[in-house]
Structures are given as structure tokens and as C-alpha cells.
Amino acid sequence: MRLPPGNEFVQIFFWKYRCNDNRYLFLGDKITPMELTLKYILEQLENIDDISIEKESLGEFHSLGIQGCAPLKDAGPGEITFASESRFFKYLNTSRAAAVVVPLDAPLPAREENFPVFIRTDNPKRLFFRILSLFHPRVTPSFTVAPGVVKGDNFVAGDALTIESHVAIGNNVSLGRGVHIMPGVYIGDNVIMGDDVIVKPNVTIMEGSRIGSRVVIHSGSVIGSDGYGFTPDMDSGHEKIPHAGFVHIGDDVEIGACNTIDRGTFGCTSIGRGVKTDNLVHIAHNVIIGDYTLIVAQVGIAGSTTIGKGVIIAGKAGISGHLNIGDRAVVGPGAGVLGHVKPGETVSGIPEMPHRLWLKVARILPRLPELRKKILALEKKVASMTK
């Protein structure tokens, strides 16, 4: 990102912590904070097709300097924040922020002060986080290959390649343009990777894996490990089943830290376009995940299950094997899914049930000991009456 003149950002061994009393603690050397004018910020975002911004009400505040972003309750002078939902509007009257991004229909408080300045938009959350990216632009990679990188035979890569230290790459590997491989990564034989892929430190990508373009794989994840497959024999020992398949990851996917995605026993374990997984997710062999599905932390999906498009799987949910989860279904947090889920259905609980039913069950569960006592007392009373 090119900054306007006079707004260069200088940072030397700097950490910044926000305290409860809204002060800042600075550790390290001197810092000159980045400051962008409101006009400059909106100019960078005005050509984005999926966001409309109402700028007419800003008036003379176009020259207002913004030095950073912060949560609504913590934001102070020189910072911009956002209030995307009605439950946050009550804080607008007391906000100390320089500017607040709000929905077009937000009721703005009448204040004697000129601040905060309210920026109306049809998608406050998306606009705010794009503003945040202006203050925290992606670090430009070095476009070099570090000394000592191990590369196998027939290695092919596109332009603008960055490979950092202690990386090992197998035979017949093909990397696209603008790929960035961070330290400690292992890439096995016959791996194919598209353009603009970022592989963060200590990731393992096993042989035969196929990765699309604009994919991000966070630290510690393993792509293409063997699935959990054994022929059970309790007397002479369990015999391992060979896993001859591979993993395919589509374009625009982001894989969280410490994910494990097993290769297919035969064929493919497939992660569709635009899928986003949180940390500590396990996806077993031959699972198929549809486009734009969201998977939150500590989810486990057993083998040969098919997840539809646009599904949301909340944290700590477990999904059994050989099931179908329909398009745009929602699996609630901590759910244990043992059966098929219809498209558009929302399920929760163990075993899974319609979410509204689970809410009733959850309210009853803490009362079960009390209800048991009452039932036993009634049974005793009925028994005494029949004697």
C-alpha cells in the first residue's frame, strides 16, 4: 500500500497493549504512529463494489486524522471503530472514538461535541475490517529463495517466489506464481500448488496434495496425512490399510492452525472453494466439503461424510462417518451428529435434533434429578393407594 506523503510508519521493536483504563503501554524504542486522513481512507475503499458509503454527512471532517482501529468500548481519540448491530448502539453516545462506522439505519445520538464522526454504510463490519487492513497491510515477501532450501528433482515454480529457511521440497513439485513458503515447511513429492498461496511455518503437505490459488495454510497443519484405517484383529494385531488417495484444496481456502486433513483411502478428500476452517479441525479420509462452508475450532468430521455448500459447523461439533449434511445447514456448538441433516436445517445436541427442540431439552436437563424425585414419590403414593 502506498501511503500519502508525510504519513510513513516507523516501528522499531514495538509492542502496544491496551489497558483497562484506556491508556497505552509502550515497550521498546520510539514510534511514530501511522496517521491516515478520513478522506484518504474512504478514497481507498470507494470503488469496492460490495460496499456503499454515505459520505455527504462527513462535511469538514474529511481531513480528520485516524491513527488506528479499536473495539467500540475501548476506542479513544484518533481511532476508528464500528457498531454493526443494534445492541451496540447504546454505546454511541459515550464513545470517545474519532469515527464510528454504523449501518445506514442506525439512530445517531444528539451530541454537543463534533466527535465521533459517523460513517454510514450498508455493511459496517466489512468496511471496518477493510479499513483495518489499511493500517495493517500484508508484509511484502522477499521474492527470494533462502540458502539451504532443499529442492527435489523436476521442481517448477512461477515468478515472485519466496521460500524461507529450513524448507524441504520433494520431487516433481509445481508451485504457481507469488507463492510464499515460510520456515520449516515440508512439501512432499508430486504436490501441485496454484498462485498466491501462503504456507505458514511448520506446515506439512504430504505427497500428491493439490492446492488451489490464494490459499492460506496456517502454522502446524498437516495436509495429506494417512487416514485412520486398520483391519481390526484383537488377537494378532491390527493391520494398517494403505491410503493411496490425495487431498484437493480449492481456491480461496483458509486452513487454520494445527488442522489435520487426511488423504483419501482411494480417491480424494476434497475441500471446496472458499472454505474457512478455524484452528484444531480434523477432517478424515474421503470427506467432501462444499464451497464456502465455515468450520469452527475443534470440529471433527469422520470419514466419507459429505458436507454441502455454505454449511456452518460450530465449535466442538462432532460428525459421524458416511453422512450427508445438506447445503446451508447449521450444526450447533458441541453437537454430536449421528444422522443425515437436511438442507437448511439447524441442529444441536447429542444426538443431533432440531435446534428449537434442543433448547427445550437443555432447559429440562438440569431439572431431571428433581423430576426423578417427584416421579418416585408419585409412584410410591400410587402404589400405596392400590394396596
Average pLDDT for residues 293-315, to the nearest whole number?
98
Per-domain residue ranges of the chain: 38-135, 150-361
Q: What is the DSSP string of 146-165?
A: -TT-EE-TT-EE-SS-EE-S
pLDDT at position 119 is: 87
pLDDT at position 11 is: 34
The C-alpha angle 38, 42, 43, rounded to 5 degrees, equals: 115
pLDDT at position 52 is: 66
- Average pLDDT of the chain to the nearest whole number: 88
Give the bridge partners for 336, in sequence order: 318
102 vs 56 pLDDT, higher one:
102
- Grid coordinates belonging to 137: 497491510
The answer to whether residue 116 scores a pLDDT higher than 90 is: no
pLDDT at position 165 is: 97
| pLDDT one-digit tens code per residue, 191-235 | 999 999 999 999 999 999 999 999 999 999 999 999 999 999 999
Q: Strand, helix or coil at 227?
A: coil
The answer to whether residue 50 scores a pLDDT higher than 90 is: no
Number of Cβ within 10 Å of residue 100's Cβ equals 25
Beta 36-37 vs 65-66: how paired, if at all? antiparallel
Q: Confidence band (pLDDT; 50, 70, 90) for 13?
A: very low
The answer to whether residue 29 scores a pLDDT higher than 50 is: no
Alpha-carbon span 277 to 271, nearest angstrom: 10
Average pLDDT for residues 53-82, to the nearest whole number?
82
> Which residues are known catalytic residues?
285
**What residue type is 318 in one-letter code?**
G
The answer to whether residue 342 scores a pLDDT higher than 70 is: yes
The answer to whether residue 370 scores a pLDDT higher than 80 is: yes
Average pLDDT for residues 76-86, to the nearest whole number?
92
Number of Cβ within 10 Å of residue 205's Cβ equals 27
Number of Cβ within 10 Å of residue 27's Cβ equals 9
Kindly report the backbone phi and psi dihedral angles of residue 195, in degrees, each rounded to the nearest multiple of 5, phi listed first: -85, 150
Q: Strand, helix or coil at 377?
A: helix
The pLDDT > 90 percentage for the chain reads: 71
- Domain 150-361 has what CATH class? mainly beta
CA distances from 41 to 10, 92, 131, 239 (A): 19, 21, 7, 61
Q: Which of 135-144, 167-176, 357-366 is most confident?
A: 167-176
The pLDDT > 70 percentage for the chain reads: 87
On whether the CB atoms of residues 188 and 225 are closer than 8 A, the answer is no
CA distances from 177 to 118, 145, 190, 196 (A): 41, 14, 17, 6
What superfamily would CATH give domain 38-135?
MurE/MurF, N-terminal domain (3.40.1390.10)
pLDDT at position 43 is: 83
- Find how far residue 214's CA is from the centre of its chain: 15
Alpha-carbon span 103 to 101, nearest angstrom: 7
Q: Confidence band (pLDDT; 50, 70, 90) for 59?
A: low
Q: Confidence band (pLDDT; 50, 70, 90) for 266?
A: very high
62 vs 127 pLDDT, higher one:
127
| pLDDT one-digit tens code per residue, 85-111 | 999 999 998 899 999 999 988 888 876
Q: What residues have CB less than 8 Å from 124, skipping those under 6 apart?
A: 82, 83, 84, 101, 102, 103
Q: What residues have CB less than 8 Å from 269, skipping those under 6 apart?
A: 245, 246, 247, 248, 261, 262, 263, 283, 284, 285, 286, 287, 288
The answer to whether residue 57 scores a pLDDT higher than 60 is: no
Give me Rg for the CA atoms of the chain.
27
* Residue listed under C-alpha cell 478522506: 39
pLDDT at position 362 is: 93
Alpha-carbon span 57 to 79, nearest angstrom: 19
pLDDT at position 354 is: 97
